[in-house]
């Protein structure tokens, strides 16, 4: 196969797009794809500060690489989750990436405040991924506010979005379907826009890009994800994609073009109060993160929590 752009021998074959690329044309093509998604979906402009949530995996590192190459002002944010060796390696890869390129990276370690995901999950008996999601959302929002960023970009890719869409459709999660978009506008002045510039680029494409750009990333999946339904959906979608290339991209793109509007977001969903714990917007007296933290404190440190309660003014 020859490169679709320059006719040199192709190194990558993208069946879903009916094209192949040599190394330098693939890098060009990938960066253009991301740039086009940013422009078309009006994710952000060149003069907006982007907080890139970097996990140390291929997607978010590839995203950061593209944004920096394209000249967007970025700040990296890594949350050290405290999931054993996996988290240690993820943090190291992220720090190495930033240091090698002289990029601005902020790291927040959950273990420092007794909120390592593994401890939270065992103390509260919640599924680790649900606790982790709540914690991540809180810290991404808080970091964007604190660092004065206009937008939060995550590395969710096409495979993530297709799997999530399949799950939401299978269970007719109409509220989630209404909120599954590559750009989410903030619903409170303390929140910022959230965007997914890689939502149309497949896992295979981001892995290829990361490899070609010499990005050293964490290959292993999070140990908590093993057996997660999301992975089963990904597997099913891979099988469909194999038989019929383009299935994933069509599923996601056509849902957004033709299906999404059928699932309107409910009015009055915006968080109206300020959380008494952290000051971030919340639906109740405490935001979901602070409720989780309070639950951990009650279970893990009951004596300390009781002392604090009796000392604090009522
Ligand atoms: P995941 O939820 O692991 O599929 O990750 C989705 C996206 O969330 C990644 O591409 C990152 O942009 C972001 N993300 C996940 N974990 C972290 C982390 N520990 N620190 C910063 N960003 C993260
Ligand atoms: Zn709070």
- Rounded Cα distance between 127 and 224, Å, is 9
* pLDDT per position as a tens digit, 121-176: 888 888 888 899 999 999 999 999 999 999 999 999 999 999 999 999 999 999 99
275 alpha carbon – ligand 2 mean position (Å): 5
Find out whether the beta carbon of 55 lies less than 6 Å from any atom of ligand 1.
Answer: yes
pLDDT of residue 309: 59
For residue 311, is pLDDT > 80? no
What are the DSSP calls for 57-87, one per residue? SHHHHHHHHHHHHTT--EEEEEEE---HHHH
For residue 109, is pLDDT > 60? yes
Find out whether the beta carbon of 81 lies less than 6 Å from any atom of ligand 1.
Answer: yes
Six-digit token string for 140: 């991404």
- pLDDT band for position 314 (50/70/90)? very low
The closest-lying atom of ligand 1 relative to the alpha carbon of residue 198 is 10
Find out whether the beta carbon of 156 lies less than 6 Å from any atom of ligand 1.
Answer: yes
Residue nearest ligand 1's atom 8 by CA: 154
For residue 22, is pLDDT > 90? yes
pLDDT of residue 268: 59
Find out whether the beta carbon of 67 lies less than 6 Å from any atom of ligand 1.
Answer: no
Find out whether the beta carbon of 203 lies less than 6 Å from any atom of ligand 1.
Answer: no
Choose among 217, 212, 220, 218: nearest CA to 69: 212
279 alpha carbon – ligand 1 mean position (Å): 24
Mean pLDDT rounded to a whole number for the chain:
92
- Rounded Cα distance between 138 and 148, Å, is 15
Phi, psi for 157 (deg, rounded to 5): -110, -175
15 alpha carbon – ligand 1 mean position (Å): 27
Find out whether the beta carbon of 94 lies less than 6 Å from any atom of ligand 1.
Answer: no
Find out whether the beta carbon of 164 lies less than 6 Å from any atom of ligand 1.
Answer: no
The closest-lying atom of ligand 1 relative to the alpha carbon of residue 60 is 10
Residues surrounding ion ligand 2 at CB below 5 Å? 275, 277-278, 287, 290
Query: Does the predicted TM-score (pTM) go above 0.85?
Result: yes
Phi, psi for 255 (deg, rounded to 5): -60, -45
314 alpha carbon – ligand 2 mean position (Å): 18
Distance from chain centroid for Cα 141 = 12
**By mean pLDDT, which of 87-91, 136-140, 266-270, 276-280 is the weakest?**
266-270
């Amino acid at each position: 196969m020859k490169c679709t752009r320059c006719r040199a021998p192709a190194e990558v074959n993208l069946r879903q797009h009916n094209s192949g690329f040599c190394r330098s044309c693939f890098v060009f093509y990938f960066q253009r794809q991301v740039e086009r998604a940013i422009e078309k979906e009006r994710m952000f402009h060149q003069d907006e500060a982007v907080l890139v949530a970097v996990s140390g995996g291929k997607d978010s590192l590839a995203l950061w690489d593209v944004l920096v190459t394209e000249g967007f002002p970025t700040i990296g944010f890594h949350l050290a989750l405290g999931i054993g060796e996996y988290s240690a390696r993820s943090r190291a890869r992220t720090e190495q990436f930033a240091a090698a390129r002289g990029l601005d990276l902020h790291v927040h370690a959950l273990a420092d405040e007794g909120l390592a995901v593994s401890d939270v999950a065992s103390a509260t008996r919640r599924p680790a991924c649900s606790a982790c999601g709540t914690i991540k959302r809180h810290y991404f929002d808080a970091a964007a506010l604190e660092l004065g960023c206009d937008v939060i970009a995550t590395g969710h890719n096409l495979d993530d979005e297709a799997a999530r869409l399949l799950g939401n459709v299978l269970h007719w999660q109409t509220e989630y379907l209404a909120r599954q978009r590559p750009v989410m506008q903030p619903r409170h002045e303390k929140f910022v826009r959230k965007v997914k510039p890689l939502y149309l680029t497949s896992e295979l494409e981001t892995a290829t890009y990361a490899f070609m750009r010499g990005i050293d990333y964490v290959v292993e999946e999070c140990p908590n994800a093993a057996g997660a339904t999301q992975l089963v959906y990904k597997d099913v979608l891979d099988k469909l994609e194999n038989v019929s290339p383009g299935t994933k991209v069509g599923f996601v793109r056509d849902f957004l073009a033709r299906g999404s509007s059928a699932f309107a977001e409910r009015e009055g969903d915006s968080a109206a109060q300020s959380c008494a714990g952290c000051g971030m917007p919340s639906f109740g007296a405490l935001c979901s993160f602070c409720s989780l933290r309070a639950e951990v404190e009650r279970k893990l440190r009951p004596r300390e929590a009781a002392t604090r309660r009796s000392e604090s003014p009522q």
